[in-house]
Amino acid sequence: MSKKIIIGMFGFGVVGQGLYDIIKTKKLNLEIKRFVIKNADKKRSLPAELFTTEADVILNDPEINTVVELIDDAEAAFEITKRALSSGKNVVSANKKMIACHLEELAAIQQEHGTSLLYEGAVCGSIPIIRNLEEYYDNELLHSVSGIFNGSSNYILSKIFNENQSYEGALKKAQELGFAETDPILDVGGYDPKYKLAIVASHAYGIYVDPEKILNLGIDKLGTQDIRFAKEKNFKIKLIPLAKEIDNNRVVLYVLPKFISADNLLYNVENENNGVVVKAAFADEQFFFGKGAGGHPTGSAVLSDITALRYGYRYEYKKHLDATQIQYSTDYVLRVYLRYTDEATLENIKFNNISERYYSEDFKYVIGEINLQEIIEKRDLINQPGNFIAELV
């Protein structure tokens, strides 16, 4: 028999409101007792007595057995989550940066105190990829997990390639719709999908990798020349994180824009939607598709975690037990397209080989093979204004 969930919720923004909307339409054995918010003066749709600015009101309430953490501040979220788990409360979170940066410590706290932290809503909105990696693929040999993990950048790229909008125009529209922040670098710079990739890799391969050690280069330097090049070759550009096992004990992780053709499963994943492709030894190739952004899609993933807690569900981190020999590696060769403006840029980057080179007054690029470690070491040079890099299969 399921137990009643008494919830204390931190945050009441887009996802929090979306979650509340879903809960009130269902008859579930749960209750939201209090909300902790930053701004007590902001007008809200619920009675004022439900809200407080004091974290201890929830964390010290013995009746509340579940904390739902939906705030933006990763470090504050970590302190809340750590305190809640250590005091016997289960936690559901959608904070991908907090989880990615502190997952190893949080897993240890759960083990020590017998509590559960669930975070399906932190990765790819409504797509249940974490639960599938934990349960369906728990004994599977995974070749790779990749996809479109960020709805904001995908919306921008969709407008560019499907409606011939400029990057600036598409970004402005994404901001107007609330898909992108005023400072959108977390999305278009590839940081958001990098945090999600670190979480996915942990469940896919049983490794904890500091996100700071994972390469992320985004679409913020995308130019009209790159768009023209892609269209001439019948490609689209998508921002794609990749976790891939490259031999029996090494895994590579990175986030890069990628030219993809029409036969790629991600080619028609458009707007704010996300898609995840899992390639496995026995299950072969499988594709997950769904809304990657928005209050209701993410709220549905959060609710799925909450309802799982009624039956005592916990991530078992099964693959970590067998992962003692698996190592994170940056020794991996990629084929890339690099647009550049200054010849000194090219002179200071070591390619294994260059198969194509184009030079005109307003457009210079090379196509060649390069080691991932070289991109990491030359990241600042490659990411200067006037340059753009993307993987090319």
The secondary element (H helix, E strand) that includes residue 368 is strand 364-371
Burial of 254 (0-12, 13-18, 19+ CB in 10 A): buried
- Does residue 78 contact residue 99 with C-beta atoms inside 8 Å? no
Cα–Cα distance for residue pair 35/351, rounded to 1 Å: 54
Tokens representing residue 29 in the block: 């054995």
DSSP-assigned letters across all residues of 145-165: EEEE--HHHHHHHHHHHHH--
Residue closest to 236 by CA, chosen among 278, 266, 194 = 266
Q: Out of 89, 97, 159, 196, pick the active-site residue.
A: 196
Cβ neighbours of residue 93 under 8 Å, at least 6 residues apart? 68, 69, 70, 77, 81, 99, 117, 118, 119, 121, 122
Helix (H, G, I), strand (E, B) or coil at 99: helix
Rounded CA separation 211/97 (Å): 9
Q: Cα angle vertex 249, ends 245, 253, to 5°?
A: 40
C-alpha radius of gyration, the chain, whole number: 22
SS3 content of the chain, % helix, strand, coil (to 5): 35, 25, 35
Where is 24: in which H helix or E strand? helix 14-24
319 is catalytic: no
Give me the count of residues in the chain: 393
**Catalytic site positions:** 196
